């Protein structure tokens, strides 16, 4: 019997939704520029009303931070409390997802399920997930590397054999090292702040900078989450504007060069972690659409035999490496909603009463 489900992918100001019949995506849409609870409520009511004749079997949600939860789970009060607990590590996302759960519950009787971005990294080695702070503090406060964008990294890498590095480059950016379909490391950490330079997020910086700015009375949360990244360097929070102005604007050029340097450095580190590389994947808005970014990163990897096919790269083809490249390079459109449907349908949860 076909399982019909609605999948919600909630952002800090948007809601993506999909209607699935088993593994088949029947319909999808995206509402953006949502500002407050009223906007979210109105949008959710509109989506649920649209599908009210479908006899929906389940409603699933992408939840950014699930802590130690390592598989899809039916939502109950205990699970909601866990999502709330980990809001401290994902304050831009988890609280919105809790709000959405509550709104949906009032409108629909269909059981709700959570699928977590952090699940893919639940098994990364201790050496990769442990921070060099007193272990008693790590244990007390659940401080460890959790990783994010896991649904995306898993989706774009799942049919690739061997040693793979995936680059999710959107508003948030992360890189993962994967071997035999298992994650070994990832650039985001306890929160989605660590790692690469992002649109408005700083990525990894010297912790001493944080201590120094705190002493000076600055709002560290706002600085690191909303005012940093390539916006903080160039003054532009749209990567397309950075690209358009970099030939004349030194700050835009610096921001671009730092992004390429940052990407190349972390990819290089993960080649060491993997002890080689078979596949390199670019995904999300910047990864899927900016040929120059891919070329400039891959030019830095020529020492391991990475070679691009110029025309394929410029046309954003799926496979962009040349026939004589020692590493296969791909551009893949991510689909977190399809990955969520697959996670749920293969979990057996939907067959339980």
Contacts of 162 (CB under 8 A, 6+ apart): 179, 180, 278, 279
Residue 123: alpha-carbon gap to chain centroid: 17
* Length of the chain, in residues: 353
E-assigned strand segments in the chain: 4-10, 15-21, 24-31, 58-63, 73-74, 112-116, 163-169, 173-179, 182-186, 279-283, 328-331
- Between CA 111 and CA 106 the distance in angstroms is 12
Q: Which one from 22, 57, 70, 117 is the annotated catalytic residue? A: 117
Q: Mark whether 117 is an active-site residue.
A: yes
Q: Nearest CA to 92 among 179, 261, 216, 221?
A: 221
- Between CA 234 and CA 229 the distance in angstroms is 9
- Between CA 233 and CA 292 the distance in angstroms is 20
Q: Please, are residues 194 and 128 in contact by the beta-carbon 8 Å criterion?
A: no
Helix (H) or strand (E) holding 68: none
- Between CA 148 and CA 63 the distance in angstroms is 10
Catalogue the active-site residues.
Answer: 117
């Amino acid at each position: 019997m076909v399982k019909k489900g609605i999948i919600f992918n909630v952002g800090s100001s948007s809601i993506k939704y999909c209607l699935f019949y088993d593994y088949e995506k029947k319909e999808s849409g995206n509402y953006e520029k949502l500002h407050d609870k009223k906007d979210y409520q109105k949008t959710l009511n509109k989506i649920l009303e649209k599908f009210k004749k479908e006899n929906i079997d389940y409603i699933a949600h992408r939840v950014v931070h699930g802590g130690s939860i390592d598989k899809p789970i039916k939502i109950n009060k205990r699970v909601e409390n866990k999502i709330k607990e980990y809001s401290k590590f994902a304050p831009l996302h988890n609280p919105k997802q809790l709000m959405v759960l509550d709104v949906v519950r009032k409108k629909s009787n269909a059981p709700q399920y959570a699928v977590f971005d952090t699940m893919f990294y639940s098994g990364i080695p201790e050496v990769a997930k442990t921070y060099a702070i007193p272990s008693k503090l790590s244990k007390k406060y659940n401080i460890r590397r959790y990783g994010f964008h896991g649904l995306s990294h898993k989706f774009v890498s799942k049919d690739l054999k061997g040693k793979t590095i995936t680059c999710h480059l959107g508003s948030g950016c992360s890189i993962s090292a994967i071997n035999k379909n298992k994650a070994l490391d990832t650039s985001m950490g306890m929160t989605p702040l660590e790692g690469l330079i992002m649109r408005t997020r700083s990525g990894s910086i010297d912790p001493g900078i944080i201590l120094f700015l705190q002493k000076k009375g600055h709002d560290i949360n706002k600085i690191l989450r909303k005012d940093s990244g390539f916006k903080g360097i160039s003054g532009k929070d749209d990567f397309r504007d950075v690209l358009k102005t970099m030939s004349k604007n030194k700050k835009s050029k610096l921001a671009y060069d730092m992004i390429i340097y940052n990407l190349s450095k972390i990819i290089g580190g993960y080649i060491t972690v993997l002890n080689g590389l078979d596949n390199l994947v670019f995904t999300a808005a910047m990864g899927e659409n900016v040929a120059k970014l891919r070329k400039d990163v891959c030019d830095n990897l020529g020492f391991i035999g990475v070679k691009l096919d110029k025309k394929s790269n410029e046309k954003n083809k799926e496979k962009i490496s040349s026939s004589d490249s020692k590493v296969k390079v791909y551009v893949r459109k991510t689909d977190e909603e399809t990955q969520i449907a697959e996670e749920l349908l293969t979990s057996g949860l939907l067959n339980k009463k």
